[in-house]
Amino acid sequence: MKFGDCCFAPSAATRRDAIRVGQRVVDRGKTVYEAFAPLAFRDAGVRASDVPVLLDHDVTKRAGTVTALISRGDWHVAGFVLDGPHAAEAAEWIARPGKVSPGFTELDKDAIMATPITPVHIGTNWYSRARLDEISIVPPGAIAWYQGARVTSLREHIPKPRPVTPARTTAAALVRRTCPRPGDPYSAVPVDEVFEHLGPDLVRLERTGEIIRLSG
């Protein structure tokens, strides 16, 4: 299983920032710039875990699931896990070279008109609320909706080892100390003493931290 991060949409906290970082797109033959407020997706009420990762906006090709959504600098950033039936293909696309595009539904926006307005440039759409429907991995050679939207990291999930629970003795044990005391090379360990087994006959006592060897 692979985990990754991607920057998928421009983030702007103010109208001025929206004009500065807005990404150029062509919508119905008109050039417009787009940016999203830092809380635009959260305020839409959609949980990150409800957003799928798809291949090329195809709902029948689910590759994974979004795990986190944050705004960082000039970008909205998503964490994701490739846990879907098309995860392997998604990993191949990410390696060549890993562009992404969001699928979203606009809910509220502030249209900042261009100055001057031209037949091909009508201004900037600054979305204060938008429902994030999906994030897609773009096919190799295709163009992402926003320039610079890409996977920034992809890594293998390495499970952490489970902590070893020390075993409890069921009876007093006769042990030999690794550093015998004069005249007392052996001693009895209390019934409820806890051992951490370091080997076949080497243990560490929980109460004192002393390493001892079982007498056999």
Tokens matching residue 152:
């920034």
- Token pair 């299983």 is at which residue? 1
Q: List, in order, residues 6 or more apart from 12 with CB less than 8 Å away.
A: 18, 20, 21, 22, 35, 36, 37, 38, 74, 126
Residues 6-60 have pLDDT tens digits of 999 999 999 889 888 999 988 777 788 999 999 999 999 989 999 999 999 999 9
Residue type, 162: R
- Token pair 């051992």 is at which residue? 195
What pLDDT is stored for residue 179 in this prediction? 45
Fold designation for 2-156: Serine Protease, Human Cytomegalovirus Protease; Chain A (3.20.16)
Residues 140-164 have pLDDT tens digits of 988 889 999 999 999 987 666 665 5
Residues 54-73 have pLDDT tens digits of 999 999 999 999 999 999 99
pLDDT confidence tier of residue 83, bands split at 50, 70 and 90: very high
Contact 98, 140 (CB under 8 A): no
Helix, strand, coil shares of the chain, percent, nearest 5, are: 10, 55, 35
Please name the helix (run of DSSP H) or strand (run of DSSP E) that holds residue 21, with its range, or none: helix 15-21
Q: Is 111 left (phi over 0), alpha (psi -120 to 50) or beta?
A: beta
Domain ranges of the chain: 2-156, 167-214
Contact 192, 199 (CB under 8 A): no
| Range 82-92 burial, b when 16+ CB lie within 10 A, else e | bbbebbebbbe
